Chain A
Amino acid sequence: MYDAGKVTIGLLIFLLLVTVPFWYNVAIGKADYAPQLEKPANAEQCIRDTEYMTAYHMNLLNEWRDDVVRNNDRFEVATDGQMREKSLSNTCLSCHTSKEKFCDQCHDYLGVEPYCWDCHVIPEELGQ
């Protein structure tokens, strides 16, 4: 092949470059990192199946947001018959009191930064 050597070296460099984040994590010992989630003290279960929540909580939040803001539908009936408010700060954070020790654990690791907190207020940070 024409200039096979150069191509191979080039490819190797390329591979090395695209895997930099991986090597970086190995180097700082983050490779086998697992998020340390603080379990709520006041409940055993989340408001939906845990698997569902792990994978789809952002969809649920979007649904809630549209229900509340656009469809004037603010409450849902929980399995125990109680009315539950569809609210990020008032509901999610009433169990997961520490955003830092819960939500951020995953998000920081994944590098997602939901912009919700630009507006939605974290009760814990107010000392309430």
Chain B
Amino acid sequence: MSIDRRKFIRLSGLTALGLAGASAGNVLSDNAVDSTEAPQTHAPLVGKRWAMVIDIRKCMAAPDCNECSKACHYVHNVPDFDNPKDEIKWIWKETFHHAFHDEGHEHIEEAIKHAKLPVLCNHCDDPPCARVCPTGATWKREEDGIVMMDWHRCIGCRYCMAACPYGSRSFNWRDPRPHIKEVRSDFPARMRGVVEKCTLCDERLARGKLPACVEACKEGALTFGDLEDPNSEVRNLLREHFTIRRKPGLGTQPEIYYIV
């Protein structure tokens, strides 16, 4: 049964994607990200290779905006520590200088130099974190390229954190629960001793929703879609703009693209 049903869902998902893709990035004027409950309402979003395009220019237009990070951390029960030592973050704003460490140069445009742009897990095609994980607690999902986390299996060795060239992974140095501002019950929190990171909202995609950060972005700076679909919004953006990726030289093939 499950095969047939999945096929069906995939088909219906593709249609939904066409719609969602077309409007991705500038849907929802309401910034309140809705909950993940009520599964029946949407067909899942299905793609063969999920990717995201981030328009830095739009982020620069709203330097104090942090909606993507807020929304993500809220729906995923990400705790908020005010010290960098225990800090946990899935998507956050980083200066251009840090995000593109090898890129810039001395005389780069001032505005760019200090521009803050969102960084998150790059969902690499060849993810080093998954390669080094000794238990298969993190792996690349073959059907759509998401680099997943299984919090039930993670032993907390932090090898993936050493292997990630983007600093995208966080470790629960202490019990996070007391530091979650507003706990929600529809997505589990984590406990001390496991690693965590962005999973491109796989739980929302399955319910036909865009990732929380994309939905929350008021500037329409984040666009999410399927790279394998030549008509997708992300493919259009990649065709029309010059885009860069973080540390392309390492061969990890990040699937988060930036329009400068």
Contacts and interface: CB of A to CB of B under 8 A. Distances in A.
A and B touch in the complex (CB under 8 A): yes
B39 A121 contact: no
Contacts of A6: none
A20 interface: no
Chain B interface helix/strand/loop/mixed: loop
A82 interface: yes
Interface residues of A, number: 24
Nearest to B205: A72
Contact of A121 (B148, B184, B202): B184
Contacts of A75: 39, 206
Contacts of A123: 185
Contacts of A88: 188
A82 B6 contact: no
B99 interface: no
A73 B2 contact: yes
Interface residues of B, number: 26
A74 B184 contact: no
A77 B185 CA distance: 23
B143 interface: yes
A119 B40 contact: no
Interface of B: 1-2, 5-6, 37, 39-40, 77, 141, 143, 148, 150-152, 183-186, 188-191, 202-203, 206-207
23 contacts: A69-B148, A69-B150, A69-B151, A70-B148, A74-B203, A75-B206, A77-B1, A77-B5, A85-B39, A89-B186, A89-B188, A90-B37, A90-B186, A93-B185, A118-B191, A119-B151, A119-B188, A119-B189, A119-B190, A121-B183, A121-B188, A122-B185, A128-B185
